[in-house]
Amino acid sequence: MGAPESAQRSTAPPPYSGAPGGEVPLPHPAPLRPALLDAAAPLRRTGFLPTRAPLLTLPGPFQAVPDLIPALAGAYAGSGVRPLIREATQAWPADLTRQTEDLTPDERDALLAAAATLMHLYRWAAVPVHPDWFDETPDFPRALEGLFRHLSAARGLPPCGGLYTLKYLNWRSPDVAPGAAYDAATLHAGNVRIARSWHTGEAGEQLDLWLQTFVLAEARGQAVLVAGLDAVQAAHEHDRDALAGALEALHHAVRAVTREINVFTRFHVIRTDLWRVLIQPTFGWGLTEGRTLLEGASGLQLGATQFADLALGVPFSGPLGAALLASRAYLPPEQRALLSAWDAHHGDVRAAVQTWGDSRARDLYGACVQDMERWRVSHRERGAAYLRGDGQPHVMASTGTQFEAGVPHDQAFRDLMTTRVVDTRAQRLTPKEG
């Protein structure tokens, strides 16, 4: 059972203004538009992770909102959480939403993350998700929905959870104090855990690992961001050594991202038989708002790979390219601003490598493209195994492009992923271009 026709991506993705795939060489590059560097400045230390570590406690009556999440674990794996959420929200102060005006931006982010999680838990009610709930728009408790919509609008986000709210604002680390500024490099496997879990036992461990996968991939993405920006700058300053140096850093950074993801998406770590049944559904949304079908948290919103695509000039063409552009609507405004400022420089690095880069730059650029291509092939193959899962029909509540209440279409997923593999492979430099 798919989503109704009228709900399928009825709004066009935002117009894309980037240069096409790096075909146009820049023999006399214009000075780097400050817009890109300005937009990147606040994000240089943490990439698309929050600039300060997520807060774990909230003042006064607000703490009841995050505290509700772990209390739901038994019911979410059993008879369903809706009555519990309804009852709990009735005890919230009537003016809770109005009181959010007194919170700091980080407190509002933490509250938004908790409210988004509760909305997703209410939307799906229990796992495994009952297929009837796939097309149903639930009657959300007024206090929760009002709070969530208010905070989402104030943050410039659509009214559903995304990677930012459901994952990037829901971790803790013994090495980073909540609310403190930090460097993404501080985060590594072993010192990041989910902050508020809605599962216990084995499902809780799996959820924790799934969250770590994305937080750590995005933490490694910070180095992709910095190296990518350095490469763009070197291209514009016509600096051969700096270009090769930035591409070397970019190559290391892309490798680190792909390694980080692949360590977790091994079948004995994040389990193929449990993922689609217990973990994945909560992150999807799949309800229409106006005429737009809202997605929920999806890999499409990962900054790390978008930075690499922008730096290398991989075009945002085809169905997955269009989905990647459309997914920007789910990013906080400062992240959207960075990507759209980068669009204007999409292809500059490739053009520089082609026209005046030395052989080292050419080799390193080629190595980056190859690593991205390999990761996309491995994501396609591993993803297909996770989608097949235990072989039984389950609600596939995900994400950007697949809304299914039965067995996902393995071949459709493969075909879609192949379009992006082809887009990436097309960036390889031929000897003639070198």
Residues of the shown chain interacting with ligand HEM in the complex, contacts defined by CB under 6 A: 213-214, 217, 261, 265, 298-300, 302, 305, 320, 323, 376, 379, 382-383, 386-387, 398-402, 413, 420
Give the DSSP per-residue string, 126-143: SSSPPGGGSS------HH
Using the minimum distance from each CB to ligand HEM, give the nearer residue, 145 or 404: 404
Using the minimum distance from each CB to ligand HEM, give the nearer residue, 199 or 276: 276
Using the minimum distance from each CB to ligand HEM, give the nearer residue, 109 or 404: 404
Q: Tokens at residue 100, please?
A: 């959010």
How many angstroms separate the Cα of 44 from the Cα of each of 58, 67, 251, 345? 27, 32, 18, 17
Q: Which residue is nearest to ligand HEM (CB)?
A: 299
Helix axes 105-124 and 142-155, enclosed angle (nearest 10): 130
Exposure b/e, 45-63, CB count within 10 A at least 16 = b: bbbbbbebbbbbebeeebe
Nearest approach, Cβ of 340 to ligand HEM (angstroms)?
Answer: 17
How many angstroms separate the Cα of 111 from the Cα of each of 63, 90, 162? 8, 17, 14
Q: What does the DSSP 8-state code read for residue 46?
A: T
Using the minimum distance from each CB to ligand HEM, give the nearer residue, 22 or 296: 296
Nearest approach, Cβ of 383 to ligand HEM (angstroms)?
Answer: 4
Residues 6+ apart with CB under 8 A from 331: 48, 162, 164, 301, 303, 339
Nearest approach, Cβ of 254 to ligand HEM (angstroms)?
Answer: 12
288-289/171-172 β-pairing? unpaired
Nearest approach, Cβ of 315 to ligand HEM (angstroms)?
Answer: 12
> Side chain identity at 330, as an amino acid letter?
Y
Nearest approach, Cβ of 402 to ligand HEM (angstroms)?
Answer: 5
Give the DSSP per-residue string, 350-414: HHHHHHT--HHHHHHHHHHHHHHHHHHHHHHHHHHHHHHTTSS---B---SS--BSSS--HHHHH
3 state SS for 236-283 = HHCCHHHHHHHHHHHHHHHHHHHHHHHHHCCCCCCCHHHHHHHHHHHH
Using the minimum distance from each CB to ligand HEM, give the nearer residue, 374 or 382: 382
Phi-psi region of 21 (alpha: psi -120 to 50; beta: other; left: phi over 0): left
Using the minimum distance from each CB to ligand HEM, give the nearer residue, 259 or 291: 259
Using the minimum distance from each CB to ligand HEM, give the nearer residue, 142 or 259: 259
Nearest approach, Cβ of 241 to ligand HEM (angstroms)?
Answer: 30
The enclosing H or E element of 288 equals strand 288-289
Nearest approach, Cβ of 342 to ligand HEM (angstroms)?
Answer: 15
Nearest approach, Cβ of 399 to ligand HEM (angstroms)?
Answer: 3
Using the minimum distance from each CB to ligand HEM, give the nearer residue, 173 or 424: 424
Using the minimum distance from each CB to ligand HEM, give the nearer residue, 86 or 409: 409
Nearest approach, Cβ of 320 to ligand HEM (angstroms)?
Answer: 6
